[in-house]
Chains A and B, each alone.
Chain A
Amino acid sequence: MRRFPEYFTIWHIAGHYGLRLVAWLVLAFLILPILVIVPLSFNAEPFFTFTPGMLALEPEAYSLRWYQEVATDQRWTLAIRNSFLIGIAAALLATLLGTVAAVGLASPWMPFKRLITALLLSPMIVPLIIIAAGMFFFYTSFGLVGTYLGLIIAHAALGVPFVIITVTATLAGFDRSLFNAGLSLGASPVKVFWDVVIPLIRPGVISGGLFAFVTSFDEVVLVLFLAGPEQRTIPRQMFSGLREQINPTILAVATLLVVLSIALLLTLEVLRRRSERLRGTGA
C-alpha cells in the first residue's frame, strides 16, 4: 500500500484509485478490440466470431487455414507485393525530397518560410476524399490513373509532411557549432555534411521515412480512386473484402499487420533513444 500525504482524506484516496481504474478501462478500450482479432484469425470455421469449440479451447477449433489462404490466394499475394512496392517507392521519394527541403527550411535565411511550410504540410490536413477527388480529375489528364507511378506520386505527397516534421525537429536540435568545428579543423563543407550532419540527423530521416512508408502502406482512399485492378494494395483488398464477402482471411491479414505495427513501434522507439543519446538530450 503506497503512502499518501497527511492531508489526504479518504475521498482523495478513493479518487486516486478511481482514476487509476478509469485509466485502465480506457486502455482496455484502446487495446482489446485490436487483440480480439488475433485469436479469431485462427478460427477453423469461416466465421467472424468465437465458436463454442474455440471458447472450450479445443485444438481442432483452431487452424491456420486462413493464413494459408493469404499465402496462396493470388489476389492477396499481389496486394502484399503492391503495398510494399508502392510504400517503399513513395517513402524513398518523400524522404529524399523532404530531407533536402528540410535542410533549406531550417536555414534562418529561408524566404517565405511560414507560407511554404504551411503549403508543404497541407497534405496532412486536407481530407483524403478531397485529395482523391482532385487527384482523380487531374491525374486522368496526365494518364496517371491506374498506374503505379500515379499512386507512388500521390502517396509520396501524403508522406512529405511527416518527413518535413521529423527532419526539421532533428535539425532544430542540431548544434551548428559542430559544423563550424569541423570546418575549423580543416574539413571541406561537403565532408562535414556527410561525416557530421548526416549521421546526426539520420534517426530523424529514418523515422520520417518510416512515417511516410506507413502512411502509404495504410492508405486506402486514394487507392480506391486512383488504382486499377493491377495496383490493388492490402488495405484496398481488405476494404473490398469487408464490403463484399467477409471471411477470416481478412482477420489473418489484420493479425499480420498488427505484428508489423509492433515491429515498427519498436524500431521507432530504438531510433528515438538513439537520437536522444546522439544529441545528449535524453536521460
Chain B
Amino acid sequence: MAEITAAPPRAARRLAPEDARNAAREVRAQRLRAFLFVTPLLAFILFAFVAPIASMLFRSAYNPTVADLVPATLEALEDWDGEARPPDAVLTRFAVDLKRLAEERTSGQLAEEVNRYLPGTSSVVKSTARSLRRADDAALAEGGANLLLEADDAWGEPGIWRALRKSGQVYTASYYLTALDLEMTRDGTIQPRDTQIYLKLYGKTLWMALIITVLTLVLGYPLAFHMAHSSTAHANFLMVFVLLPFWTSLLVRTTSWIALLQTNGVVNSTLITLGLTRDPLELLYTQFATIIAMTHILLPFMVLPLYSVMRGIDPSYMRAAMSLGSRPIPAFLRIYLPMSLPGLSAGALLVFIISVGYYITPALVGGTDGQMISNIIAFHMQQSNNWELAAALGSLLLFLIVALYWLYDRFVGAGNIKFG
C-alpha cells in the first residue's frame, strides 16, 4: 500500500554511510520533484492573487500623493511649530507650488487629499489655485504669501496648514484610525470621533451575518436531518433540490428575490389577493430583503456539511435511547446534537465567513439600510475615490476573515471542505 512505499526512511542512520548518503540524496530529489510540480501554480498565485492583496495592505498605510505634489512646501513646513501662521517664506513657497499644480491641472487632487483632514478645504484650495494660475511668476516668487492671503484669508489660519502637513505624511496610520472611527488630536492622543460610521457598520455586518447564520441553521438542520434519515435514493432525490440552488448563478437567485419582493411583485400580489394587507409592503431595498435573500443563497452551505456528518451518525444510538424510555427531545439534545456538532460548526462558520464579506446581494436588494461593510469599501473605491480608506477598511475585514478562518481550521479542518 501507499504508506509502505511512501514513508521516509527513518532507519537511514543504521545503514552504511554510503547507503545513507544515497538515501538522503534520494529524499532530497523526491522533495525537489514534488516541489517542482507545485512551482508553476505557486508562482501564478503569488503574482495573480497574493501580490495584489499585499499591495492593498501596503496602500492602506502608504499615500505619497501629497508628498509628490508639493514636496517643497512640505519640506518648508517641517520646522513649523504648528501654533501660529507659518512664516511668509512657507506661504510663498506653497503659492509657487500651487500655481504649478494649477497649470498641470493637478490642484484638484491636492484639494481632495487635504479636504480629508479638514472638511471644507477643497473649495479654498481650488479657488486659490484658479486665482494663482494667472499670477506673474516673478511677483509670485517675491510676494506669494500676500497673493495667497488675498485669494483666500483661510490661508492665515494655522488649521489648514496643519491639515496640509498631515496629508503630506507618506506613511500614515490615519486611514486605519478613520476606519476605526478614531482621530488623532493635535497633542497626539487618539480619541473616538464624534460620529461613529465604520464601527457601527462593522457591528451591523457582524450582526446581520449572525442572523443569517442562525436562520440557515434553523432551516437547514431539520432538512439535513430528514435527508440523512431517508433511504439513499430518496436522499439523492432531495439532494437535487439543495444542489440546484447551489449551482444556480448568484445573480439569478438575487433576481428571483427582486421579482418576489418588489412593490408589485409576487409576494405583495399574493398578500393582497389573500386580503392579508391592503397596501403593498415595502419589502425590497431593506435590511429584511438582504437577510432573506442571503439566507436563501447560503442555505446549501449549511445543509451540505450538516448532511455529510449526519449521514455518518448511526441511528441505533437514538433508537437505543428511546427504547430505553428517553423522551425524544432529551434524547436528541443529549445524544444526537453533540454528534452532529462537527457538521453544525462547519456549516455555521462557513456561512458566517461568507456573509461577512458579501457584496452583490446587499448592493442589489439592500437599499441604504441593508448595506454591509463590503458595500462601503466599493463605495470608497468607485464613488469617493478614497482608495487608501477602502484599502484600510478592506485590510480590517481581511484580518477579521483570517481570524475566523483560523478558528474554522482549528475546529473543523480546512481540508474537510467538500462540494456536492
Contacts and interface: CB of A to CB of B under 8 A. Distances in A.
A182 interface: no
A100 B41 contact: yes
Contact of A127 (B219, B252, B266, B397): B397
A8 B258 CA distance: 45
A214 to B, nearest CB: 7
A24 to B, nearest CB: 8
B249 A107 contact: no
Contact of A133 (B225, B244, B391): B391
- Taking residues whose C-beta sits less than 8 angstroms from the other chain, chain B's interface range is 35 or more
Contact of A138 (B52, B227, B255): B52
Nearest to B27: A109
Interface in B296-333: 296, 299-300, 319, 322-323, 325, 328
A238 B259 CA distance: 14
A218 B246 CA distance: 12
Contacts of B50: 119, 122
Given A36-B260, A157-B49, A176-B6, A261 B244 contact: yes
Interface residues of A, number: 100
A130 B357 contact: yes
A235 B269 contact: no
Interface stretch (B77-85, B104-112, B412-420): B412-420
B364 A118 contact: no
B8 A103 contact: no
A176 B225 CA distance: 37
Contacts, number: 288
A265 B250 contact: no
B23 interface: no
Given A137-B52, A239-B251, A108 B8 contact: yes
Given A31-B244, A104-B38, A254-B255, A130 B414 contact: no
A250 B353 contact: no
B52 A235 contact: no
B384 to A, nearest CB: 14
Contacts of A176: 1-2, 5-6
Contacts of B385: none
A239 B247 CA distance: 18
Interface stretch (B152-160, B170-178, B185-193, B235-243): B235-243
Given A108-B7, A127-B401, A264-B247, A15 B241 contact: no
A238 B266 contact: no
B326 to A, nearest CB: 10
Given A5-B319, A48-B258, A111-B31, A258 B252 contact: yes
A133 B262 contact: no
Interface pairs A-B: 7 shortest CB-CB: A127-B357, A104-B37, A134-B52, A23-B226, A138-B52, A101-B41, A134-B56
Given A30-B296, A33-B296, A129-B378, 16 more contacts: A19-B222, A19-B225, A48-B259, A48-B262, A101-B41, A108-B2, A119-B50, A130-B53, A131-B53, A132-B381, A135-B52, A160-B44, A176-B2, A250-B255, A254-B256, A261-B248
10 contacts: A111-B31, A126-B357, A133-B390, A133-B391, A138-B55, A175-B1, A176-B5, A235-B251, A258-B248, A261-B249
